[in-house]
A and B are shown apart, each in its own frame.
Chain A
């Protein structure tokens, strides 16, 4: 029983991280209809930048995360401007290949600049606490709480501000948005900024309990793709729910099925979904 609760909490932690990454991915998909294969590289960059800010510049954890959000967000904006924007009319294969190019570059860059070794990130929240008989680290609690706070802020931004409303409008109808005078370029850049920022938050939060290394984004991005297909491409609530579903099933699978194959669970989900419904769950049928 205790193991079960412990694992459920682990699932909550991993799920929070997944949800944040998937949110960024789904926002970009909603606006530009591109699956950003380079999103995992943004996640990785976020981890490294926070780490560097802390170790080299001695910044506090939170301050380091803030710098990381800005830098990775700007990286996202650059990607939109110089790569995805010029490719918006190109055949569908092109943006994916372009994104893969960016991914390869950023990973090679990380390896070149920071080295290939695994690095651990210090955290001011390393202490262990007991809650209802469970042994938890503060960092894990922090991940869960911070993720919820971030999601809440994002929700407020999208629902309560004009800028947020334009993002929603554009994800529903790009041409329509163009017609009613929304500056679609600005919205696209803003979305990439937010998407990059979310990736940076996710990796900075999870790095202390995992590690920082050039390939740290690989699995996360793949799972984030599974999540947004699970939750509906472009759907914001879908990304959150999907994130927790995958998080929980992984941590339970690791305990009760096999730790070796836990990473496969998410992909089996995906294979199952797309086998049954090739256009993804919750897609509007019949569209071409």
Chain B
């Protein structure tokens, strides 16, 4: 049984997926990303490939640390943010 992980999307990932929030399945970051990739063709085209983030994108768990490692374990209740890596303004 996979964890249900809440995912929030910002910037380009949000505009590519067409949603601000969704729920994805997975026990590791790579599985969650793979689930998103399978369900959102826009994300597969731009942000995620083979369950890994493409360059220019980053995840954040719970608004705390930034992560990219597909092997990162996730627990039920974790919230994953998917965003553009460049924060320049």
Q: Do A and B bind each other?
A: no
